[in-house]
Chain A
């Protein structure tokens, strides 16, 4: 663990006010100058005076209900609440007078008269604001006898107390104990203002007021609660407490680290007792999350200590043998000998690596270095291949960088947001909360998605336009939007003339103006009403700051790259690039998918997106590593598998990725893996890919290592070791041991040295060092001499590539078409509580929310097939078939079905085809023609697969 100073995360009571005018006032004899509109409470906090408070917190608006924060203002009558009273010029405020002391004591007496005095055995002992405030106001006795209470299960004569409610333990991660509640409404307001779910309310009134989850009959689990933890964080007492805190006790130290789930990159305080993790709480100064979290980062870390985790290296001769547990040294020798043998027998290019987007930048860098510097080929790829490779290509071509243009704070300045092919409420929940907050404040939202997601319609959120297009027609709809903007002259001519090439734009304008690109003409393809498209285009072009957020619904198509280009075109032609509140923002799937791309994981690019054919770039690494780097791009994942089936690719080192489950056309993947002679899987668990592996290196969790993750906003966040690796080594050490077994001679002793090498060789990381990240909290690349503190906004004064480039986006329908045998279109996605292939979240209590994948089907399609809610159905495509349960919902249009891919039993990728993006091979997960029919249970494939998996996971008993 690293020693560093945690910046103060004290609570200022009310939110920061963004105002250019300032006001000077005097508090307790000290002058203080604050932005106009700031509360007196916050102004006092700025000079270090903490006015007593219970209902206020600086992540939510002032409420004025607890009556503890009263102050006196000279010349004004009464004792106003300092949280709800704004500052005024020249006023003199007193926060501590005889009158105030008496009032506060009186208020506290009332609170305490209906609160149990079991502090010593209470979970919040030492971590309780009610306790703190009792101390702060000098409460020494309580005059009121507790007769009518909420906290005694029985009254003095032994009769049941109807006011007492039992604990609600339904949520797997936290407990709601109504007996401890002081009804400050902080939890309700946190749910509304911070999270935006509105799952909580105050039921009843007066003495009968209770915090209630959902409707009358709901408990926490049955309500709309998404278990983000904001209410638990907000609760000043033990009413809402983490179960882990109740079980273990209060933490004694904490370490700031970065969540290892999605690409938002939330920072957390890992609160520890010794080396036991007590809880993860969102870090207030985390620049991506600003003190908020979701159920995964906040609670779903139990997988790191799950019994399925493998802690010892294993080897076997054949995938039909049981695994044999061996020492690290033996495993390394076995793996190196096999790989060496393959290289000798089949040549330099017969082996390769897959880097993980779940591991740190440093670990990813080492894995690509392994193949380039030790195997001496460019056969490296990463799971970004199957998600955001079109983003890299499309944004690289048009704007000049393979990354999003904004930071997440930018959304606070957005007036019109387009969310296309993404469901941030499920996939990027913390960003969704920030977007929803902006929408509740008046920003408009346009959703382009085949499904009616939570972003289209949920409490206090209603999209201005929902373009519910037919899967596979993104390009048509994006081009139609451009058609309207061009033909109705809604574009920003000045921006285009100064920042882009006007002639190029003319060419593009001519292309999109063609009649076949009009909303009316594409209506038959997209199924979206032309009026709706026109209205959406006008809103985006003329509605103020327009920002586009997109996800895998854009990229995972045969024309994924084209849609990305179309999105960049829309932003450029409306001048929505280069300032806060606008931009093109890919919502990246995994914690470090941006980083793994940056680190040169692609077969054609060295770190920093520099093509391997550039001799000058190769020279940098050749000089440093003392090897000759292959000038030919290597194999992509699908090419590796094709080559394996053909017999020319024989050895693979797969770091932290489960290609068998996550890559399309499972049967092809398994055939490819089965044909290899040495598959090394480096993972926490015996994942599906490991069924075909010969060597298993146990991995370390994000809690067990130092390093950095780069999130969707290009932010390099620190990951800090909070406990020792359970299996002995951090992942970078394992890769180094293997490389050295292959004769590499690496000797890194800390990931900081790897980052030094990255900075030394990669211009966009030139200014990044661990010390600098410690100092600044995080750094958004590019970080170099020109931008020593990093770059929150890209393309501010000019595009990275010089002039923004318009590229024509001709719609070409995918080859995957519906027909009589496969009349429905399947599209896939995620849900909130599970993460990708579920290797982690399935091993946590998150299964309480999503125990299996289900197929969403429209009532019309269900009825004609005789499918009822909850029935088993057979889902078949041209590639394969599987079975799962159906749910009947009008969230999907007729003709479209939807499922998630979190569970290996479902194997949704048995269904998906091997069609892929024309530019990057990103698989077309989002469109598959299918048929759905009632079924009795698992398909033959599922049964065979499960039998093979069970056989393959056997571990031989120790002798």
Chain B
């Protein structure tokens, strides 16, 4: 767990780096997520104060984007596409397999903290459906066997 002093000082540095930028809220949230692996709630009032926004507004923006996480993810993040093209190619089946293999539901992390499983809506890789995103890297034609090898490779 990060202590609040650490959050405050590092968020402060990120805010300073974005001074004067127009529409800087999203870049700041991205930078904070890159820094901490998630956006700590404690950072939001500091951002709000700095950007002359209310804490409600910052909360509204952050909660709009599913990619900004409130809590740290597992060591690896596995995202499975849930959109139409992938569904027509068996994404539901693959997803059920992933949940069973990892023993977790959507948005959960395995108890050993190794893998976080998340749904995503269209990775733009419909031609190779069903598709997945493994730690930011695109993978196509994901069937059960491929999924097992992916999970097996996530140490």
Contact = CB atoms under 8 A, between A and B. Distances in A.
B54 A202 contact: no
Interface in B37-83: 41, 44-45, 48, 52-60, 63-64, 66, 70
Interface stretch (A49-57, A113-121, A215-223, A277-285): A215-223
A704 to B, nearest CB: 39
Contact of A223 (B53, B56, B60, B66): B56
Contact of B59 (A197, A216, A459, A460): A216
B52 A462 contact: yes
The listed residue with most B CB atoms (<10 A of its CB), out of A197, A205, A217, is A205
Contact of A216 (B48, B63, B66): B63
A213 interface: yes
Nearest to A462: B52
A200 B56 CA distance: 6
Contact of A203 (B41, B45, B52, B60): B60
Contact of A460 (B44, B53, B55): B53
B52 A215 contact: no
Q: Is the interface of A mostly helix, strand, loop or mixed?
A: loop
A217 B44 CA distance: 12
A212 B58 CA distance: 12
A204 B63 contact: yes
Given A203-B60, A204-B64, A214-B59, A459 B44 contact: no
B67 to A, nearest CB: 12
Contacts of B54: 197-199, 201, 214, 224, 459
A213 B55 CA distance: 10
A205 B121 CA distance: 14
Interface in A121-141: none
A201 B41 contact: no
A462 B52 CA distance: 8
Interface residues of A, number: 23
Contacts of A217: 41
B14 to A, nearest CB: 19
Interface string A169-207: 000000000000000000000000000011111111100
A213 B63 contact: no
A457 interface: yes
Contacts of B60: 201-203, 212
B62 to A, nearest CB: 9
B45 A457 contact: no
Nearest to B58: A215
Contacts of B45: 215
Nearest to B64: A205
A459 B57 contact: yes
Given A204-B63, A457-B52, A462-B52, A216 B41 contact: yes
A205 B66 CA distance: 9
Contacts, number: 61
Contacts of A205: 63-64, 66
B138 to A, nearest CB: 24
A215 B44 contact: yes
A461 B53 CA distance: 9
B64 A215 contact: no
Contact of B56 (A198, A457, A461, A462): A198
A106 B58 CA distance: 34
Contacts of A213: 56
Contacts of B56: 198-201, 212-215, 218, 223-224
Contacts of B52: 457, 459-462
Contacts of B58: 215
A460 B56 CA distance: 13
A215 B41 contact: yes
Interface in A239-293: none
B48 A459 contact: yes
A462 B50 CA distance: 11
Interface string A88-127: 0000000000000000000000000000000000000000
Contacts of A223: 55-56
Contact of A201 (B57, B66, B70): B57
B25 to A, nearest CB: 13
A774 B58 CA distance: 47
A240 to B, nearest CB: 15
A176 to B, nearest CB: 13
Between B48, B63, B70, the greatest number of chain A beta carbons within 10 A of the residue's beta carbon is seen for B63
A149 B57 CA distance: 26
Given A217-B41, A459-B52, A460-B52, A198 B57 contact: yes
A178 to B, nearest CB: 15
A341 B58 CA distance: 69
Contacts of A201: 54, 56-57, 59-60
A65 B64 CA distance: 17
A694 to B, nearest CB: 53
B53 A198 contact: yes
Interface in A216-235: 216-218, 223-224
Contacts of B44: 215
A162 to B, nearest CB: 12
A457 B48 CA distance: 12
A188 to B, nearest CB: 8
A201 B58 CA distance: 9
Contacts of A224: 54-56
**Residue in B41, B56, B64 with the greatest tally of chain A CB atoms within 10 Å:** B56
Nearest to B63: A203
A465 to B, nearest CB: 16
A201 B56 CA distance: 6
Give the most central of A197, A199, A215: most B CB within 10 Å: A215
Contacts of A216: 41, 59, 63, 70
B58 to A, nearest CB: 8
A423 to B, nearest CB: 18
A218 B44 CA distance: 13
Which of A200, A203, A213 has the largest number of chain B CB atoms within 10 A? A203
A199 B63 CA distance: 15
Contacts of B57: 198, 201, 459
Nearest to A217: B41
A215 B55 contact: yes
Nearest to A214: B56
Interface string B19-51: 000000000000000000000010011001000
Nearest to A216: B59
B87 to A, nearest CB: 17
B120 to A, nearest CB: 14
A209 to B, nearest CB: 9
Interface string A142-174: 000000000000000000000000000000000
Nearest to A201: B60
Nearest to A459: B54
A234 to B, nearest CB: 16
Contacts of A457: 52
A204 B45 CA distance: 18
A116 B57 CA distance: 29
A459 B53 contact: yes
B76 to A, nearest CB: 26
A231 B57 CA distance: 16
A201 to B, nearest CB: 3
Contacts of A203: 59-60, 63
Contacts of A198: 53-54, 56-57
Contacts of A218: 55-56
A460 B55 CA distance: 12
A214 B54 CA distance: 8
Top 4 A-B pairs, shortest CB-CB distance: A201-B60, A198-B54, A459-B54, A201-B56
20 contacts: A197-B54, A200-B56, A201-B54, A201-B57, A201-B60, A203-B60, A205-B64, A205-B66, A214-B55, A215-B44, A215-B58, A215-B59, A216-B59, A216-B70, A218-B55, A218-B56, A224-B54, A457-B52, A459-B48, A462-B52
Interface of B: 41, 44-45, 48, 52-60, 63-64, 66, 70
Given A198-B54, A198-B57, A224-B56, 9 more contacts: A198-B53, A201-B54, A201-B57, A203-B63, A204-B63, A205-B66, A212-B59, A215-B55, A216-B59
